[in-house]
């Protein structure tokens, strides 16, 4: 089923990627994202989700080549990676790093960039103490580092945010807080989103549309809830049936 069209902010047409030795990694991936829209990208490990996102932002790893693609992005694009600590420079205090991203992207003075960085700290619920004493990434928790990374992405004033499993490395309660922050910010700032995850509960609550990838191709796509309720492709059916149900503690017999 082809997706419904809003004013597109991103169009990916026939994206194919391969290694230098011509091993196909992503084949003919196409999708369109409307302004403010959220699309989930799910599928087995190694199916090409991360490489698809990296292609859009032009950050393919060395050794991977774009064989074909027509990518049209009519706005600013930012990306949040899976490993927040790895995404930060370990040798540079975090507020300094954030201010640098602000200064570079918003073309403002050093002083103004620090002020904007402080506003972003507040927006992301980071400790006010960071304003008095900056800290290195290893001195923050994983959740705090991911908030810094999100703040950096927002400093680019993105029209589209690419999220590559942004909560996978975090514990479940922090995952929930980060997802709430992303949802709130999307409502406030109106950016579109492509959200890569293995978690179908996350896509069902955050994404109106869903693409399922397998072996480098999109094998099924559609409105998220319709697709999850009525998957057509046998792989999607297996993916959905492999989700563990929440235990029904009420009915569990007392041992
Ligand atoms: N730098 C690289 N060099 C060679 N092959 C790579 C490289 N990075 C990824 N690949 C291969 O490309 C394919 C797609 O990888 P990708 O990281 O996009 O998968 P993914 O769907 O995001 O997986 P996961 O859910 O585990 O993150 C995989 O077969 C992977 O082994």
Tell me the backbone φ, ψ of residue 212, rounded to 5 degrees.
-110, 125
The preferred substitution site among 44, 49, 79, 163 for testing ligand 1, maximizing ligand atoms within 8 Å of CB, is 49
Please give the tally of structural domains in the chain.
2
ipTM surpasses 0.85: yes
d(Cα 109, Cα 198) in Å, to the nearest integer? 41
Find out whether the beta carbon of 18 lies less than 6 Å from any atom of ligand 1.
no
| CA proximity to 214, closest of 49, 16, 30, 64 | 49
Tell whether 115 and 226 lie within a shared domain: no
Tell me: do 54 and 103 sit in the same domain.
no
Pairing type for strands 24-34 and 77-80 reads: unpaired
The answer to whether residues 4 and 129 belong to one domain is no
Q: In the prediction, which pLDDT does 82 show? A: 85
Q: Is residue 19 lining ligand 1, measured as CB closer than 6 Å? A: yes
Q: Is residue 248 part of a domain?
A: no
Tell whether 199 is covered by a domain: yes
CA distance 231 to 132: 52
Residues 122 and 164 in one domain: no
- Residue by residue, pLDDT tens for the chain (255 residues) are 444 556 799 999 999 999 999 999 999 999 999 999 999 999 999 999 999 999 999 999 999 999 988 999 999 999 998 888 888 999 999 999 999 999 999 999 999 999 999 999 998 889 899 999 999 999 998 889 989 999 999 999 999 999 999 888 778 888 888 899 899 989 999 999 999 998 898 999 999 999 999 999 999 999 999 999 999 999 999 999 887 666 666 665 655
Say which residues have a Cβ less than 8 Å from residue 63's Cβ, sequence separation at least 6: 19, 20
- HSE-CB for 96 with a 13 A CA cutoff: 10
Q: Are residues 165 and 69 both part of a single domain? A: yes
Q: Is 162 in the pocket of ligand 1 (CB under 6 A)?
A: no
Q: What angle do CA 93, 95, 97 make, to 5 degrees?
A: 70
Instruction: Provide the residue range defining the domain that includes 153.
Output: 88-157
125 and 141, same domain (yes or no): yes
Out of 110, 134, 157, pick the residue that ends a domain: 157
Same domain, 120 and 173: no
Residue 247 belongs to a domain = no
69 with 186, same domain: the answer is: yes
Domain boundary among 137, 157, 177: 157
**92, 218: one domain:** no
Looking up residue 32, the CATH number of its domain turns out to be 3.40.50.300
- Of 108, 142, 157, which residue sits at a domain end? 157
- Cα of 108 from ligand 1 centre, angstroms: 37
The gap from C-alpha 49 to its chain's centroid, in whole angstroms, comes to 10
Could you tell me if 212 and 92 lie in one domain? no
* Residue 248 pLDDT: 63
Would you say the CB of residue 21 lies under 6 angstroms from ligand 1?
A: no
| Same-domain pairing of 163 and 233 | yes
**Residues 184 and 237 reside in one and the same domain:** yes
Tokens coding 179: 């997802």
């Amino acid at each position: 089923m082809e997706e419904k069209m809003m004013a597109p902010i991103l169009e990916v047409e026939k994206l194919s990627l391969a290694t230098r030795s011509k091993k196909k990694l992503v084949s003919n991936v196409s999708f369109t994202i409307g302004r403010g829209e959220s699309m989930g990208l799910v599928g087995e490990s190694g199916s090409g989700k991360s490489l698809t996102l990296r292609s859009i932002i032009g950050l393919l790893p060395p050794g991977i080549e774009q064989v074909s693609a027509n990518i049209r992005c009519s706005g600013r694009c930012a990306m949040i990676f899976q490993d927040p600590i790895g995404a930060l420079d370990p040798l540079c205090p975090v507020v300094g790093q954030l201010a640098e991203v602000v200064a570079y992207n918003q073309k403002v003075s050093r002083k103004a960039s620090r002020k904007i960085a402080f506003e972003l700290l507040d927006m992301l619920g980071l400790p006010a103490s960071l304003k008095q004493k900056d800290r290195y990434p290893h001195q923050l928790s994983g959740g705090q580092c991911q908030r810094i990374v999100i703040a950096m992405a927002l400093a680019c004033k993105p029209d589209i945010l690419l999220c590559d499993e942004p909560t996978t490395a975090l514990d479940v309660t922090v995952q929930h807080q980060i997802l709430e922050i992303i949802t709130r910010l999307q409502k406030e700032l109106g950016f579109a989103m492509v959200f890569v995850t293995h978690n179908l509960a996350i896509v069902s609550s955050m994404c109106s549309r869903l693409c399922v990838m397998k072996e480098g191709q999109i094998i099924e796509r559609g409105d998220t809830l319709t697709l999850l309720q009525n998957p057509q492709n046998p792989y999607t059916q297996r993916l959905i049936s492999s989700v563990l149900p929440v235990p029904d503690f009420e009915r569990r017999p007392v041992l």
